[in-house]
Amino acid sequence: MRKMLRSAVSLILLSLTLVHFSYASQKPYIILVSFDGFRWDYLHRGLTPNLERMQRNGVAALSLQPVFPTKTFPNHLAIITGMYPENHGIIFNRFRDPFSGKTYSLGDASAVRDPRWYLGEAFWETAERQGIVCASYFWPGSEMRPDYRHPTFFEKYEHNRPYEIRVDGVLKWLQLPEAERPHFITLYFDAVDSKAHQYGTRAAETDSAIARVDRMLGRLIAGLEKLGMLNQVNIIAVSDHGMMDTSPRRVIYIDRILGDTPFEFQQRGPVMMVQPKPGYRDEALRKLRAAEKHFRAFAREDVPAYWHFSQHPFISEIVVVAEPGWLLQLSGEKVRGKATHGWDNHTINMHGIFVAMGPNFKKSYRTGTLRNIDIYPLLCKIMGIKPRQNIDGKLERIAFILR
């Protein structure tokens, strides 16, 4: 009798194991690739044969609309959480908690790993909790503590790590035993953003960066083909924002406008947060509004609803937004670089790209502008898992691109 029971238990365990491996083999694969600062129209320069291949064999949007402000960390978190910055918590690349005095900065490894700043749930958290192994070869927020808040596999950000090593690292993860292998992977490249900041959007150096990141996409596709996995993997290429050229002739000096009104500020460039000293808020607003030319000044509670940038407590009492192409600075400061981003997310040159190819996407399909906050629910739909219910993204605005 005992022998029969042992045999029955063994058969049940074997069946469960086979079911597990069968399910693992059926789960979709997604590689989400970010090309930082890749403006929507860079696709039309004749420099991107691999992105063009993806467009022919998959889905291409006219553009990908970022969230406001159109900065790197706020938008990478919007993509991966499906939330606006006022809700996911990362309102700028650098900002201060006025209550504790602590500062979040993209260049501070301790800060970017501190979970206190991140109010949203990243897709890898949602997926891992529902049994999907995830990995990240760089993505803002992917290094955060504690362990359950980052992917199973992740790399600590190293700005100068060769791009070939990054791609090969992703391919190595896909060669792990099937039960250990990640089914969702992120990959990040900065070159297009970095070169455009330094040289401008029309520079030869920027074109070279566009071609370079496209070659890395080609390396990824070739690697998947070699592994016999290309037909199993969904590749989604996105960018966090676009880019616009600047000029030292298009600068507004906020301190000259405010004069002797005492204030503190955060950020320069397209957007500035102004915090007047106690009792000076109305005076500062009056001066700024009287001088409005090529910019607008808003009390925090009056920031236009379509920007979704008024509810977070770290947003200063006054938000000043420059007209696209204009910059907000203090007198005596020089304009750095030749292009930047951060302006109104409805400005087309602030838009990025969305190109996707794989078994879950339609083929040779063109659509209009998509919103980056809708990518999180799209990922959940592809993976067959339940999304968080407090997100801002909506599946119905993007699900039509799926087969």
Distance set, CA 64 to CA 76, 79, 176, 335 (Å): 12, 11, 33, 28
CB neighbour list of residue 118: distance below 8 Å, 6 or more residues apart: 77, 88, 89, 90, 141, 144, 149
**What integer best gives the mean pLDDT of the chain?**
94
C-alpha–C-alpha distance, residues 190 and 240, integer Å? 11
Helices (H), 58-120: 72-81, 85-88, 109-112
Per-residue pLDDT averaged across 16-39, rounded?
A: 74
| Active-site amino acid positions | 72
Cis peptide before 377 (omega within 30 of 0): no
Among 374, 403, 401, which residue's Cα sits nearest to residue 123?
374
Question: Token pair of 308, please?
Answer: 């979704």
Q: Say what the pLDDT of residue 15 is.
A: 47
Q: Say what the pLDDT of residue 26 is.
A: 80
Q: Say what the pLDDT of residue 12 is.
A: 47
Question: Is a pLDDT exceeding 50 seen at residue 284?
Answer: yes
Question: Is a pLDDT exceeding 50 seen at residue 9?
Answer: no
Question: Is a pLDDT exceeding 80 seen at residue 126?
Answer: yes
State pLDDT tens for residues 136-193. 999 999 999 999 999 999 999 999 999 999 999 999 999 999 999 999 999 999 999 9
CATH topology of domain 28-245+345-401: Alkaline Phosphatase, subunit A (3.40.720)
Residue 54 CA from chain centroid, whole number:
20
C-alpha–C-alpha distance, residues 100 and 96, integer Å? 9
Class (C level, CATH) for 251-336: alpha beta
- The domain segmentation of the chain, as residue ranges, is 28-245+345-401, 251-336
C-alpha–C-alpha distance, residues 165 and 229, integer Å? 19
Question: Token pair of 169, please?
Answer: 């690292």
Distance set, CA 26 to CA 21, 29, 178, 225 (Å): 9, 9, 11, 18
Torsion 150-152-157-163 (CA) sign? negative
pLDDT band (50, 70, 90) for residue 17: very low
Q: Which pTM was predicted? A: 0.93
Per-residue pLDDT averaged across 195-206, rounded?
A: 98
Q: Say what the pLDDT of residue 24 is.
A: 45
| Ordered DSSP codes for 269-304 | BSEEEEEEPTT-HHHHHHHHHHT-SSEEEEEGGGS-
State pLDDT tens for residues 38-49. 999 999 999 999
Strands 263-266, 271-276: parallel, antiparallel or unpaired by DSSP? antiparallel
Among 73, 145, 146, which residue's Cα sits nearest to residue 105?
73
